[in-house]
Amino acid sequence: MTSTLTRNAFRSLRPRPPAAAWLACAAALLLPAASRVCRAADGAFIDIAASVQPKMVKIYGAGGLQGLEAYQSGFLISPTGHVLTVWSYVLDTDNVVVTLDDGRKYQASLVGADPRREIAVLKIDADSLPHFRLSDGVEPAVGDRVLAFSNLFGVAAGDEDASVLHGVVSAQTQLAARRGAFETPYDGPVYVVDAMTNNPGSAGGALTDRRGNLVGILGKELRNALNNTWLNYAIPAGELVTPVDDILAGKTLPRKIDDSIKKPAEPWTLARVGVRLVPDVLSRTPPFIDAVTPDSPAARARLQPDDLILFVNNSVVTSCASVVETLSLIDHIDPVRLTVQRGQQLADVVLETKQ
């Protein structure tokens, strides 16, 4: 027994075969090279992030109550100060502030919004700004690396850089999701990414490829009601070109009523809709629903008190008066599409008169 153990012990001390020795030497030689490659890759990502940061903005507006964050992200899409972001309650105020990468702050005005894609365009009084061109957006393949830029958790307030997350495109799919009892307005292609982009403040941020080319806009918070998991997604840049062009062309601006417009003989009214709005005591009272009439079009569409009306047939409505004016242009036999905000949810409903 002793001799066997001794032989085994000496066998373990024999020199390695030449092949194993060469492998060990090769690994030792390759480690510094691999380290240099990693450092070069890190440096490339740092350079790309530095080129994207001047195009990013931080947006501050309404919120701050009941857990509603008063901030979100956006990015510049023109040299003259047009900002693309998501449509949300944060923009539901006259005091929206946009902070550039260098810390400059500007009062922003709402140019328009697209309720279907839940995007909005803001305008600040500035020029010669670095920006993304939506028409130059790229389409990554599944497995491609991407970078997500946003002001997640509101950590940047001045000239601090936007946060950057690194991930890959996990899937390209159609967004089929629901928020609460309502279907989400957007029903189109999205990129699903494995980076945790579904954080407060991230919505409206930019998703780029590893060269800094725009891929899409980070979507709003969306959670799977069945398993309570969050979906990290971005709307492709190609899906944004046409709606942004429409917004810039003024197709979603609030409609003004003048004497030259012929109104229908029997238009929609608040009574026909079946809602009473809050008392119109200000020059621009937000159009919150105060009460819903039973068995009315509003009741059948499941509208509720405290819902805020944002759009009537794609026209932005910013006050109780503008809701009444916009409805007065629509014949009562035609359906009316409303976009309403309920808490943090945005939903489309269609109202029709009972036949």
Q: Are strands 96-99 and 233-236 parallel, antiparallel or unpaired?
A: unpaired
Query: Residue 56: which residues within 8 A CB-CB, separation 6 or more?
Result: 73, 74, 75, 76, 101, 149, 150, 151, 162, 205, 206
> CA 159, CA 161: separation in Å to the nearest integer?
6
Is 321 strand, coil or helix? Answer: helix
pLDDT tens across 189-238, in order? Answer: 999 999 988 888 999 999 999 999 999 999 987 766 556 677 899 999 99
Cα dihedral 205, 209, 212, 213 sign: negative
Question: Would the pTM of this model clear 0.85, i.e. be above it?
Answer: no
The CATH number fitting domain 53-248, selected from 3.30.43.10, 3.40.50.720, 2.40.10.120, 3.40.50.2300: 2.40.10.120
Compute the Cα dihedral for 314, 315, 319, 323 and give only its sign: negative
Identify the pLDDT of residue 283.
64
Could you give the percent of the chain with pLDDT greater than 70? 77
Give domain limits for the chain.
53-248, 270-351
The CA-to-CA distance between both ends of the chain, in Å, stands at 100
* DSSP states along 203-261: TT-EEEETTS-EEEEEPPP-B-TTT-PBP-EEEEGGGTHHHHHHHHTTTTSPPPP-TTS
28: left (phi over 0), alpha (psi -120 to 50) or beta: alpha
pLDDT-derived band at 129 (thresholds 50, 70, 90) equals: very high
| Residue 232 · residue 194 · CB < 8 Å | yes
Mean of the per-residue pLDDT values of the chain: 82
One-letter amino acid of 288:
F
For 42-88, write each residue's pLDDT tens digit.
Answer: 557 889 999 999 999 999 987 665 556 889 999 999 999 999 999 88
Residue 33 has pLDDT above 60, yes or no: no
**pLDDT of the residue at 254:** 46
Fold of 270-351: Pdz3 Domain (2.30.42)
Q: What is the mean pLDDT of residues 293-322?
A: 89
Q: What are phi and psi of 76, to 5 degrees?
A: -75, 135
